[in-house]
Structure 1
Amino acid sequence: MLVYTLLSSSLTAFTNEYIQENVDNGRAVSTLSTSVATNRQTAALSNSSHPPAIIVSTKLEFKGQLSQRESNIYGLVTLQAPFTRQSSSSSSLSRVPIDLICVVDQSASMSGAKMILLKETLIYITEQLTDFDRLAIISFDNHAYDRSHGLKRMTQENKHKLNVAINDGIKDGFS
């Protein structure tokens, strides 16, 4: 109930702000995101029976957009897993394990520098994951390809296999 009340008051404040004539969409979304994240963290800390919440942040391509015309606006959503203690005797913090599925385009539109950046990003992701995390990679052009053959624990052996699949299996420019 505490979380609902806090989220409800956050949404009410956001709605009132959004109704104003010349609202800055970027500021309003940022305010809502910050408010919800803060309220969830406060609720999680004050009520130990609930696990900590995932922290969500958003960033839009543009700060505002005229409502009279239709357009696409790209955005970035970032999810941050809550932190947990590694053991009762250890005071260091570690994030909870994650399951991550990357669905990537390998069609003709992704040729050249775009494909190089995509592959570098996927390799960076594999390097950042721990043994307890799991990763799956699906690539597509006219068909879908399961490059990882399901979710794989990120052991050193599986990291190596996925890096080979990323570099050798994902080809650019095929549609």
Structure 2
Amino acid sequence: MLKKIAIALCLVAVSAGVMFNATAKNKPTLVSNMQAYLVKTNAQGKEYRQPAKQTEPGQVLEYNLTYTNQMKKPLSGLVVSGPIPANTMYVGQSAKTGVPADLLVSIDGGATFESEPVRRQERMANGQMKTVVVPADKYTNLRWKVKQPISSLGKQLYSYRVQVK
């Protein structure tokens, strides 16, 4: 029997990297939204997506994170964080955005972030140290340090994919 994984649990973690401010009218200045899509391929080999409700091992999900600036002035200093949920692994090179941003990754649950490729020193069987590249399936979190402000009443989109284990 294939184990099914609920999507809703990982959706609540998306806003962890964003600080929300409120105006005098209690309207947020920045609104975030995360959608999960199941990535499929049709009979002609063309990829398409459909909203994900449940997944099964081997399936690929695409997360879309949308940030909307509700102020009438640009908003800068945005840091966008996305989790790699339990029982999934990041699909290497799948992180995308249409704005200038530095992509950082974490392999320790979000405690630290660094640029790709992540490298570590590892002791070999013969006792010598060797530099190895940590594979993308070991990533636990993603983070974009955004270089461009969100324009007045503008939106920015970030996306990445994970595969269900």
Normalising by structure 2, we get a TM-score of: 0.26
**Structure with the largest fraction of strand:** 2
Instruction: Select the structure of larger CA radius of gyration.
Output: 1
**Structure with the largest fraction of helix:** 1
The structure showing larger relative contact order (alpha-carbon pairs under 8 Å, at least 6 residues apart) is 2
Normalising by structure 1, we get a TM-score of: 0.25
